[in-house]
Chains A and B, each alone.
Chain A
């Protein structure tokens, strides 16, 4: 059988990432004291001594055992991090020091350890993950009771609940697991000798945890778990080498997750089934309309259970629908699930009478899919589903819901009394039922039940003899009350359910709408800043928290990370493309949540949500509640993905624009170079030639000598002009031309320009009070170029006319000549670089007009060429005028 290409690819990726990742070696034992740390240190020493590898002890707990302490002495010790917590100083692994030191192997004891508050990660295994990700090998120790999937089994065996757990993924992903095994008797001997704990502690431990039965069970568990892992490796090996599979690869197990505390046990059991059957694990929760009203505690438990599924390597799925059983089975069928695991019902038989139990329903609908029913957890069974308490509405809110209920019932009673009197009991009942319907529609289940009781009491007391008493003489009336009571309850139940469905639909609608709004706005955003503003605006409004977007090496929007913790969380989230900070397990003490904005090539940025102190900030509590809600969380992550791809898109656009710009610049530079090299060489050639002729011929006649010198001089002047224009051009193009704008007299500008053309016939019409707003020196430069151009292209006998006027807030300065004029076809081209209308001798390089136009445009003006009346060309430069006002006077 040929291996599945997808699987092969996945394995290649796996192998590639493994090549970069460090290797994790776990020294795995069944109980404390079997000698894991000792074995680990021996292995570490042999790495140093036999392989000369660079080994550093990150953190090792010797627990006062002498042999172990002796082994540590031979290793380089990394300084520990001291964390003050509640008056005591805790010693922790210094992760950053280890990363900075970059040894080949780090020895980190006790993988399941929980870090002191305030460190980057809550758990040590997360530190180890980071070391591995940095390409550092890690040696560590682990006891079987700390494995997540075995946690509850161990608790059952030993009666001790272990809180510190390590996800099975870490165990499965280890490069090597070495079992450190010790026969049970020997371990108990060691314990008695005080080699594991101190003498006093040892006695108690021997009584509780280290009972022989416990140890044997744990030992078996450890060995079996290791065997499972070896088998998984074998399977992977076989698959990699195309060896025919002898097992059902498509096995999938679906476990029904609920907010119930017993669900946790169910999930662990399902995980064990999945592990031994090499099956995929799916954790499914169906959100029915009734479940939308889950209390805060239930919601949190549900979220925790879903996370548990994920940490056990499963996939968690939330479905929505009217009927949990139908949805579950439909989904199971869609995913080719082979087994459905669900819990034994814990509720009373009475409830089953009212509606079809979930279990029966699933079994009936599941057909070919196996259904496994696992018993609910005994100790936790007492704490069943909490009543769906409306937590967000306090007593005042309750009062506002019950008061109108009472008022409506009173109204019904009064109306009945006035309209029907005491004769028509049926009508009176009807009117009260109407009141109950209204109450249950508007105020929910509680007030509806209240209204039901109130109505029955009111009808009994006021409309049924004996009046003003709750006693009933006629048995028929008891039946009436019974019917009225049941009908009222059914009505209130049905209407409440409709309400819940409507609420659920509305909430979903809101989420969809807000997602749509975000997607639309992000699509419309024209600039990155606009994009960020919209994104942070949406998220901030949805979660009542200040959202800020951080890009690598630059910062955008809002106030920035105020504390180091937040900055660290941002950096971590960016590097690892995973959430960090408040409400996560990484840097949980930060005051903000950092969410990576993931694009196609990893995180392109990070969005932070500033969360206040929940202990005295209601908004912060609300924000945290919403962040714990899986739906809200998913919404937030989807938004982050949208932003991530939008940011990536703008980055790609920027890159493309830069590339285009570079190409254009390159093209221009080549054109410039070829043109300039010609125009620079020509005058230089003339100067060199003429001067060398003078040098070589001492007996040259004075007339020839003078002519040669004159030629050299003229060419030098031309060269100087060319260089000046080139410099101006370069500055204009580089955008380095800073305008020093102020009011300037046009007369003075024209005057100073014309002073340079002493010998030429010139006429002027310039009002003396005309002022421009601009850079006088640059404007003069533009005019010089225009006049030079006119001088070059018109007969010397015809005066050049300069005329200025104000028109519509702009000052127009015309430079008109009587030359050949400009062909219509050339009227735009003459402003292009290196364009020359006539390749005349002594002409410029074709930059003068371009520079003049550049200057005009830098002023927010323009330069154009017109046909002069009576022949010739007219260049008109137009720049903003100084607004006319009463001139200052002395």
Chain B
């Protein structure tokens, strides 16, 4: 609800009208999401069950799926697995009972983001736009920009592997840098503990959350103004971390 400030600049009226799928068994939710997204120049198709969702995915090949995990005829995790089998389209999971385990499971299964009910429109729009932008980047085959700005002060140069804050060099250890690089690569998305550990340390280290916490604390100390009120290196308790570029 307070994330409105983080919404990136709108992609503008000239952007192509992209088609989104909302899969939720609650008709009022579907209507609200459809009205809200259509008013922001998206086209929306609806599905009320796993069967319908899979049918709509193959018929319309939507640019993004908003998926409720509690569908009447099956498990939302099945939808994630079936879609991931042939597509990298962004999937944002929407759930009312979002326990941390469910979030982690959905994210590790291949969902890109997670939204807990009840949510406001600004939050929804922000997540949708981030997902679409990242998806478009990957589709166009363009390499990640070599220089990424985090907020106003922090600049990460992926080519030279240097990080500066307010013009001063920030010295990072190789692991800290690697951690930051993974977060930058998935900027705005939640990266689960497991995903981070596997990408930084390797597949064998999936359980060592303690490591991760120590390095994240060091990273926050080096990059954040007030580490206890982080603007960018956000903690999603029990799930993982999220790098916010704005703010």
A residues with CB within 8 A of B: 716-717, 720, 740, 742-745, 747-752, 754-759, 762, 764-766, 768-769, 776-777, 780, 802, 887-890
Contact = CB atoms under 8 A, between A and B. Distances in A.
A777 B100 contact: yes
Contacts of B208: 888
B109 interface: no
B102 interface: no
Give the 5 A-B residue pairs with the shortest CB-CB distance, closest first.
A758-B2, A764-B228, A766-B228, A748-B235, A752-B235
A9 B209 CA distance: 77
A754 B175 contact: no
Given A777-B100, A888-B210, A768 B234 contact: no
A551 B237 CA distance: 47
A752 B217 contact: no
A768 B220 contact: yes
Most buried by B among A742, A752, A890: A890
A887 B228 CA distance: 20
Interface string B101-134: 0000000000000000010000000000000000
Contacts of B215: 890
B226 interface: yes
A749 B213 CA distance: 12
8 contacts: A717-B1, A745-B213, A751-B229, A752-B234, A752-B236, A754-B228, A756-B2, A757-B2
B114 to A, nearest CB: 14
Contact of B118 (A720, A742, A751): A720
B181 to A, nearest CB: 16
Given A766-B228, A768-B221, A748 B238 contact: no
Given A717-B1, A755-B230, 12 more contacts: A740-B238, A743-B213, A747-B227, A751-B227, A752-B235, A752-B237, A754-B229, A758-B3, A764-B226, A768-B217, A777-B237, A887-B214
A750 B224 CA distance: 14
A758 B228 CA distance: 13
A748 B175 contact: no
B123 to A, nearest CB: 12
B151 to A, nearest CB: 14
A748 to B, nearest CB: 4
* B3, B208, B211, B214 interface centre (most CB from chain A within 10 Å): B214
A856 to B, nearest CB: 17
Range for the number of chain B residues in contact with chain A:
20 to 34
Contact of B2 (A743, A752, A759): A759
B5 interface: yes
Nearest to B233: A751
Contacts of B235: 748-749, 751-752
Contacts of A744: 213, 237
Find the residue from B1, B211, B213, B234 having the highest chain A CB count within 10 A.
B213
Interface in B56-85: none
B216 interface: yes
Given A717-B1, A759-B2, A887-B214, A777 B229 contact: no
Nearest to B173: A890
Given A747-B227, A802-B228, A890-B175, A758 B236 contact: no
B229 A748 contact: no
Contacts of B234: 751-752, 755
Given A717-B1, A754-B228, A776 B211 contact: no
B214 A751 contact: no
B186 to A, nearest CB: 18
A889 B212 CA distance: 10
Contacts of A756: 2
A747 B2 contact: no
